[in-house]
């Protein structure tokens, strides 16, 4: 290795003064009882509670994905007993992964843990509300799981009317109620972040010095606070429609099913940005650190994040090009959707420019970040294809769409979540993760992911519709490739689960700042003390100040 | 308030907050107060979007069935709705005076004004319930018992539009929105009354300070919001075409 200047600093060395004294103060060791966890108002502990919960939901959603992929290995339906069962399977996979894993993933786990640490605060502005949001999340989640165990729902995660309101014989209302409940948890988290970032910043932490991770969560929170209530009222209307037949979405009673799609996508397109904007924040921390350079174009990065969150509210109609909305709406929505490409492009170019002439270090978090940049680019560019009216008519409701959004949600959001988890694992747990296994898992996930979802682009382009449980034999080769990739991907996801758990006992203790990173969260012990900072820090430097960083401070 | 900078900031915004206990994670009362107020505003933003969704749906149907909505709207009582609007605006004044009282450190004023707010809020719900019972009596509630016959003159009132016979499905749709929107509003009123009652009891028992405006101001913000929703609902539902 030629990077002699920095390499020593990146080595995980045991803390020079490990011992019971340092240990007794940290947020994990401060109290051990179950009650102290379930009634905690410490943002760090609530982050951990969220981490455990969403891992459970990710596992359940993953099992469903496995069943779907196994079913699709052969052109005939054989694993599942009927098409109805298959419908329920992909519906529940979607609902769990979107509402119970992706939306809370980075904000509720890493955001909860890191935002107060990054801005120099002792906690979020409303600690009790934060705990409440976790309880609401769990109530909504357990409720939805209970519904799935007692029959489930088959409408697709989109709950499209009139199928959901008039024809489906499954538990539509109960599932929608679960989603409704969990929406409040999302709103409360977003509200808490907005207020915290506004009022809790340490002296000197100006808006221009705010880490981009916080900017990303600020933008995400705006979407959560402004978008989620519209979903809530839509779900209420759907429930009333189904129970009372009031006719808002029923053409027979003078209503219009398309209105449901408008209201649903008004939330659910911005929801995509709830899932992916926090990933941008994670990338903005990892890439400068492992390139040893300040982030390129800080202001443009922050501006691009805000621009995406706001543009996201103006593009919902691109889900409805073939739904019967007017051609002119379609054209306007297409143009607005293409505009999202501009800030997204700024981000990708700026990440690349950050690495340019930097010392790029291939630690595990960086591998995930690099994977994200590539996969997000593919996902984003195919998104532009789908936003173009003419192409969309051809590939609408095919596997092309499925592949596109999995590139954004798995290749993007999930990779960034894993990258962030590795990057901050030393801070969260106080232990290093095994670098060798980390790299292996990252590579396996990257390969498995591409093998799973790239063939689906081809499938979709050749005309394989989504949500079908039987298909023509000529598609089988691509489906088998996809299933094989999914098996590799599953292994890749299991490895980190194992070594993260084992690292709690067998890995070396993490120093305060194992990566030589900037940011206030790295100035406190690993794991951080329960009250975060002994004294409120005073910020005097710009963010990502890696230029003057060639001397080891420790 | 020993820190001079804090005292200065507090007096600069003419805010008296020293009476509210300071939570451990805040540096000073000003920060705590600003967080609480901003939190309520952010929550009200979600409420705006919540009502915004249903008002958008209402707008869509009103745009494609103007005659039906106009005719249906005339079965409502603008007088009762108007009285209710005044009652609610009165309650807004009362809650504003309660906030003022807490700033002036007048415990008695706070209690009286909070009581008056609750009284007017309850009166609103009473009048609203009376209206609903009238409408149920006239079979205007959507469902199998829905019954509507265009009265003489209703079609002519909207003669400026190209009016054929009224589409009764869309007339019923108006009442779907009417009951849903007013019901949702009443639900928010009930929550507001419950919060006001808790606040009143807590202040009465001296569990919460009447001075130090934070709790009173935050509840007041919510109450004003609920009132403003009604200010939008009243013309949307009652005043489509007043003769």
Return the pLDDT at B163: 55
Residues in A closer than 8 angstroms to B46, CB to CB, are: 187, 191, 225-226, 228-229
Q: What is the pLDDT along chain A (554 residues), one digit of tens a residue?
A: 333 344 434 444 444 444 444 445 789 888 889 999 999 999 999 999 999 999 999 999 999 999 999 999 999 988 888 989 999 999 999 999 999 999 999 999 999 999 999 999 999 999 999 999 999 999 999 999 999 999 889 999 999 988 898 888 889 999 999 999 999 999 999 999 999 999 999 999 999 999 999 999 999 999 999 999 999 999 999 999 998 888 899 888 888 999 999 999 999 999 999 999 999 999 999 999 999 999 999 999 999 999 999 999 999 999 999 988 888 999 999 999 999 999 999 999 999 999 998 999 999 999 999 999 999 999 999 999 999 999 999 999 999 999 999 999 999 999 999 999 999 999 999 999 999 999 999 999 999 999 999 999 999 999 999 999 999 999 999 999 999 999 999 999 999 999 999 999 999 999 999 999 999 999 999 899 999 998 889 999 889 998 754 544 43
| Contact with chain B for residue A30, Cβ under 8 A | no
Return the pLDDT at B212: 64
Q: Report the residue from A122, A195, A228 with minimal CB separation from B38.
A: A195
Of A128, A62, A134, the closest CA to residue A92 belongs to: A62
Mutate to test the interface with A, among B43, B45, B46 (most CBs of A within 10 A): B46
CA distances from A299 to A290, A307, A450, B230 (A): 20, 12, 33, 42
State the Cα–Cα distance between residues A26 and B235, nearest whole angstrom: 58
Retrieve residue A136's tokens: 């609401």
Count of A-B CB contacts under 8 Å: 98
Return the pLDDT at A267: 95
State the Cα–Cα distance between residues A185 and A274, nearest whole angstrom: 14
Across the range B30-51, mean pLDDT stands at 93
Res B16 pLDDT > 80: no
Retrieve residue B17's tokens: 């907050």
Annotate A85-153 with DSSP letters as a single string: HHHHHHHHHHHIIIIIIIHHIIIIIIIHHHHHHHHT-SS-S-HHHHHHHHHHHHHHHHHHHHHHHTT--
CA distances from A11 to A2, A513, A515 (A): 14, 10, 8
Retrieve residue A488's tokens: 């590799």
Res B12 pLDDT > 80: no
Return the pLDDT at A77: 87
CA distances from A469 to A66, A72, A122, A171, A202 (A): 14, 7, 52, 21, 55
Return the pLDDT at A324: 85
ipTM for the predicted complex:
0.89
Residues in A closer than 8 angstroms to B60, CB to CB, are: 256, 259
State the Cα–Cα distance between residues A291 and A6, nearest whole angstrom: 11
Chain A residue with minimum CA distance to B53: A230
Verify whether the Cβ–Cβ distance B172 to A127 is below 8 Å. Answer: no
CA distances from A59 to A56, A86, A175, A490, A532 (A): 5, 19, 19, 10, 32
Verify whether the Cβ–Cβ distance A125 to B52 is below 8 Å. Answer: no
CA distances from A202 to A222, A457, B33 (A): 22, 47, 17
Chain A residue with minimum CA distance to B184: A233
Residues in A closer than 8 angstroms to B24, CB to CB, are: 122-123, 531
| Contact with chain B for residue A187, Cβ under 8 A | yes
Residues in B closer than 8 angstroms to A121, CB to CB, are: 25
Verify whether the Cβ–Cβ distance B31 to A247 is below 8 Å. Answer: no
Ramachandran category for residue A461: left, alpha or beta (phi over 0 → left; psi -120 to 50 → alpha):
alpha
Length of chain A: 554
Task: Give chain B's mean pLDDT.
Answer: 85
Verify whether the Cβ–Cβ distance A244 to B142 is below 8 Å. Answer: yes
| Contact with chain B for residue A226, Cβ under 8 A | yes
Return the pLDDT at B243: 56
Q: What 8-state DSSP symbol labels residue A201?
A: P
State the Cα–Cα distance between residues A523 and A118, nearest whole angstrom: 10
CA distances from A249 to A144, A265, A316, A351 (A): 24, 15, 19, 45
Length of chain B: 243
Verify whether the Cβ–Cβ distance A254 to B173 is below 8 Å. Answer: yes
Residues in B closer than 8 angstroms to A194, CB to CB, are: 38, 42
Contacts with A371 (C-beta within 8 Å, 6 or more apart), sequence order:
A411, A415, A419, A442, A445, A446
| Phi/psi at A465 (5° precision) | -75, 150
Asked if residue A411 lies in contact with residue A453, where contact means CB atoms within 8 angstroms, the answer is yes
The distance of B64 to chain A (nearest Cα, Å) reads: 10
Q: How confident is the model at residue B160 (pLDDT cuts 50, 70, 90)?
A: very low
Q: How confident is the model at residue B8 (pLDDT cuts 50, 70, 90)?
A: very low
Return the pLDDT at B105: 85
State the Cα–Cα distance between residues A355 and B28, nearest whole angstrom: 42
Is residue A551 exposed (0-12), middle (13-18) or buried (19+ Cβ within 10 Å)? exposed
State the Cα–Cα distance between residues A63 and A71, nearest whole angstrom: 12
Q: Report the residue from A228, A246, A256 with minimal CB separation from B142.
A: A246
Verify whether the Cβ–Cβ distance A248 to B50 is below 8 Å. Answer: no
Chain A residue with minimum CA distance to B61: A255
Return the pLDDT at B10: 42
Return the pLDDT at A332: 95
State the Cα–Cα distance between residues A44 and A131, nearest whole angstrom: 11
Asked if residue A395 lies in contact with residue A495, where contact means CB atoms within 8 angstroms, the answer is no
Across the range B52-57, mean pLDDT stands at 95
| Contact with chain B for residue A112, Cβ under 8 A | no
């Amino acid at each position: 290795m030629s990077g002699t200047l920095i390499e020593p600093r990146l080595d995980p060395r045991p803390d020079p003064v490990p011992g019971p004294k340092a240990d007794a103060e940290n947020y994990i060791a401060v109290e051990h009882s179950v009650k102290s966890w379930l009634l905690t108002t410490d943002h760090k502990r609530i982050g951990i509670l969220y981490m455990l919960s969403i891992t459970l939901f990710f596992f359940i959603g993953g099992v469903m994905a496995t069943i779907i992929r196994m079913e699709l290995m052969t052109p005939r339906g054989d694993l599942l007993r009927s098409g109805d069962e298959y419908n329920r399977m992909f519906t529940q996979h979607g609902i769990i992964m979107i509402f119970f894993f992706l939306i809370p993933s980075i904000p509720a786990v890493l955001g909860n843990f890191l935002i107060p640490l990054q801005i120099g605060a002792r906690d979020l502005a409303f600690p009790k509300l934060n705990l409440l949001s976790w309880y609401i999340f769990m109530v909504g989640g357990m409720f939805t799981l209970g519904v799935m165990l007692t029959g489930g729902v088959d409408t697709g995660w989109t709950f499209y009317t009139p199928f959901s309101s008039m024809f489906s014989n499954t538990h539509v209302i109960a599932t929608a109620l679960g989603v409704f409940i969990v929406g409040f948890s999302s709103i409360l988290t977003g509200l808490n972040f907005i207020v915290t970032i506004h009022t809790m910043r340490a002296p000197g932490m100006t808006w221009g010095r705010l880490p981009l991770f916080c900017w990303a969560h600020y933008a995400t929170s705006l979407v959560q606070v402004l978008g989620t209530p519209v979903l809530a009222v839509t779900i209420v209307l759907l429930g009333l429609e189904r129970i009372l037949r009031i006719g808002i979405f029923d053409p027979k009673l003078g209503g219009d099913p398309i209105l449901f799609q408008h209201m649903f996508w008004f939330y659910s397109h911005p929801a995509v940005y709830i899932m992916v904007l926090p990933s941008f924040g994670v990338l903005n921390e990892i890439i400068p650190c492992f390139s040893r350079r300040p982030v390129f174009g800080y202001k443009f990065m922050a501006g691009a994040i805000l621009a995406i969150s706001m543009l996201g509210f103006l593009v919902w109609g691109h889900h409805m090009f073939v739904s019967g909305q007017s051609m002119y709406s379609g054209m306007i929505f297409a143009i607005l959707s293409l505009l999202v490409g501009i800030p997204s492009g700024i981000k990708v170019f700026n990440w690349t420019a950050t690495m340019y002439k930097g010392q790029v270090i291939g630690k595990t978090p960086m591998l995930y970040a690099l994977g994200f940049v590539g996969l997000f680019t593919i996902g984003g560019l195919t998104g532009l294809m789908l936003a173009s009216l003419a192409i969309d008519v051809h590939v609408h409701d095919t596997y092309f769409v499925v592949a596109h959004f999995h590139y954004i949600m798995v290749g993007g959001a999930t990779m960034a979540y894993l990258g962030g988890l590795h990057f901050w694992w030393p801070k969260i747990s106080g232990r290093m993760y095994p670098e060798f296994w980390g790299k292996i898992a990252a590579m396996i996930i990257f390969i498995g992911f591409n093998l799973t979802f790239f063939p689906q682009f081809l499938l979709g382009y050749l005309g394989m519709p989504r949500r079908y449980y039987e298909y023509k034999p000529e598609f089988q080769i691509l489906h088998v490739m996809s299933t094989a990739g999914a098996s590799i991907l599953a292994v890749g996801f299991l490895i980190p689960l194992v070594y993260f758990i084992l690292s709690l006992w067998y890995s070396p203790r993490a120093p305060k700042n194992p990566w030589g990173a900037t940011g206030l969260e790295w100035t406190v012990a690993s794991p951080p003390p329960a009250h975060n900072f002994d004294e409120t820090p005073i910020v005097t430097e710009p963010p990502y100040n890696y230029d003057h960083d060639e001397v080891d401070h420790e | 308030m020993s820190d001079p900078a804090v005292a200065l900031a507090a007096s600069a915004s003419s805010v008296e907050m020293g009476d509210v206990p300071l939570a451990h994670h805040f540096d000073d009362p000003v920060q705590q107060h600003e967080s609480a107020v901003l939190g309520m505003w952010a929550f009200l933003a979600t409420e705006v979007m919540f009502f915004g969704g249903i008002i958008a749906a209402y707008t869509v149907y009103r745009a494609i069935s103007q005659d039906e909505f106009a005719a249906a709207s005339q079965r409502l009582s603008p007088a009762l709705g108007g009285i209710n609007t005044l009652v609610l605006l009165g309650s807004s004044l009362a809650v504003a005076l309660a906030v003022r009282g807490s700033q002036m450190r007048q415990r008695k004023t706070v209690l009286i004004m909070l009581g008056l707010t609750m009284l007017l809020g309850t009166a609103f719900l009473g009048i609203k319930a009376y209206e609903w019972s009238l409408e149920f009596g006239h079979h205007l509630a959507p469902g199998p018992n829905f019954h509507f016959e265009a009265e003489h003159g209703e079609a002519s009132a909207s003669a400026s539009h190209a009016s054929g016979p009224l589409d009764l499905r869309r007339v019923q749709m108006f009442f779907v929105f009417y009951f849903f929107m007013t019901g949702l509003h009443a639900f928010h009123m009930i929550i507001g009354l419950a919060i006001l009652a808790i606040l009143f009891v807590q202040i009465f028992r001296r569990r919460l300070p009447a001075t130090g405006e934070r709790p009173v101001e935050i509840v007041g913000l919510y109450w004003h919001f609920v009132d403003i929703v009604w200010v939008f609902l009243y013309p949307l539902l009652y005043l489509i075409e007043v003769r």
